[in-house]
């Protein structure tokens, strides 16, 4: 069954009750609660959850939006930060989100792991893509330079992420929740496929897995950085959930069927027993969501 992420309407809804009513009006009985949900909205949502009107299958860190943060986000505090106090804060608020996930009956908490301190050169990559030069020598040169800069600095950052994940894995085990390390959008963000090859075996107890974001992988592939095939080929057995959305060039969170993603390939390369979440931008209409679900169903994703 496909759940719908609250990111579709969480910034537009007037209340938690209105948000849930909007999701249910489309026929969804399962949702992902994400980091734009405020503590006040969560209070308003809880009666519907308690009554079984709708079920959260996953939650996206940091949840609910911490009042001490300047704005909601999945990267307010970073596991990879060189600042020990920031890492401690990141672990503390993630433990809170794990506990809430357990209390609400969610199966997983989706987490962002941080960044490596390099210039992501995003504007350059986009300009090269727009000019059709990503696969040409100018594009390959820039991508190679990004990868070399990343490789030179990633080691200590990954060790810091690992050290943060160890106590979180224990907390997740105790709460009966899985932690899903989500592949990211920008070149400097953690994890990509090489990072996952280090992180997934590094933390034991079975509470940590891989969360595959289809749109992020498509954008990284289009910009020459990573690929769907690499991510799913290497970590298929560790996938616990997926964010389903389409992408075109370097734009993602589009309705399935309106971009360039081959969802038949996605279906063929994902396990059949994972959490599936439709994660589309607020501008998507209810009619487009229904069409997107039909597109997914046509290739066997439902």
Q: Which residues contact 243 (CB under 8 A, 6 or more apart)?
A: 5, 110, 182, 211, 212, 213, 214, 215, 216, 277, 279
153-205 pLDDT per residue, tens? 999 999 999 999 999 999 999 999 999 999 999 999 999 999 999 999 998 78
Rounded average pLDDT over 120-130:
98
13-62 pLDDT per residue, tens? 889 999 999 999 999 999 999 999 999 999 999 999 999 999 999 999 99
Is the predicted pLDDT of residue 255 greater than 90, yes or no? Answer: yes
Spatial distance between the Cα atoms of 169 and 207, rounded to a whole number of angstroms: 6
Is the predicted pLDDT of residue 259 greater than 90, yes or no? Answer: yes
Q: Tell which phi-psi region holds residue 52, choosing left (phi > 0), alpha (psi between -120 and 50) or beta.
A: left
Number of domains in the chain: 1
229-240 pLDDT per residue, tens? 999 999 999 999
pLDDT at 70: 84
Note down the domain range covering 290.
2-298
Nearest to 96 by CA among 114, 76, 123, 80: 76
269-285 pLDDT per residue, tens? 999 899 999 999 999 99
Query: CA gyration radius for the chain?
Result: 19
Q: Looking at residue 142, which CATH number applies to its domain?
A: 3.20.20.150
Tokens at residue 18, please?
A: 């209105």
pLDDT at 14: 84
pLDDT band at 11 (very low <50, low <70, confident <90, very high): confident
pLDDT at 205: 81
Alpha carbon of 205 to those of 13, 110, 179, 190: distances in Å? 39, 17, 11, 22
pLDDT at 288: 97
126-152 pLDDT per residue, tens? 999 999 999 999 999 999 999 999 999
């Amino acid at each position: 069954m496909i759940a719908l992420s609250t990111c579709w309407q969480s910034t537009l809804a007037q209340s938690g009750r209105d948000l849930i009513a909007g999701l249910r009006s489309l026929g969804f009985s399962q949702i992902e609660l994400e980091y734009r949900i405020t503590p006040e909205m969560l209070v308003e949502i809880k009666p519907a959850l308690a009554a079984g009107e709708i079920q959260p299958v996953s939650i996206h860190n940091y949840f609910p939006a911490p009042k001490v943060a300047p704005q909601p986000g999945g990267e307010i505090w970073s596991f990879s930060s060189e600042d020990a106090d920031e890492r401690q804060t990141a672990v503390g608020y993630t433990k809170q989100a794990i506990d809430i996930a357990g209390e609400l009956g969610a199966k997983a908490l989706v987490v962002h792991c941080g960044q490596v301190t390099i210039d992501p050169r995003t504007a350059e990559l986009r300009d090269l893509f727009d000019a059709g030069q990503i696969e040409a020598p100018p594009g390959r040169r820039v991508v190679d330079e990004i990868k070399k800069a990343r490789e030179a600095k990633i080691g200590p950052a990954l060790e810091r992420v690992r050290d943060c994940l160890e106590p979180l894995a224990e907390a997740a085990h105790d709460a009966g929740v899985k932690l899903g390390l989500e592949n990211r959008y920008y070149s400097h963000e953690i994890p990509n496929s090489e990072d996952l090859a280090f992180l997934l075996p590094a933390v034991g107890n079975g509470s940590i897995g891989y969360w595959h974001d289809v749109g992020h992988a498509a954008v990284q592939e289009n910009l020459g950085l990573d690929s769907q095939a690499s991510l799913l080929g290497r970590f298929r057995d560790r996938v616990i959930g997926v964010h389903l959305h389409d992408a075109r060039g370097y734009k993602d969170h589009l309705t399935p069927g309106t971009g360039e993603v081959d969802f038949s390939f996605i279906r063929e390369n994902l396990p059949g027993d994972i959490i599936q979440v439709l994660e589309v931008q607020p501008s998507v209409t209810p009619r487009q969501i229904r069409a997107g679900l039909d597109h997914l169903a046509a290739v066997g994703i439902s």
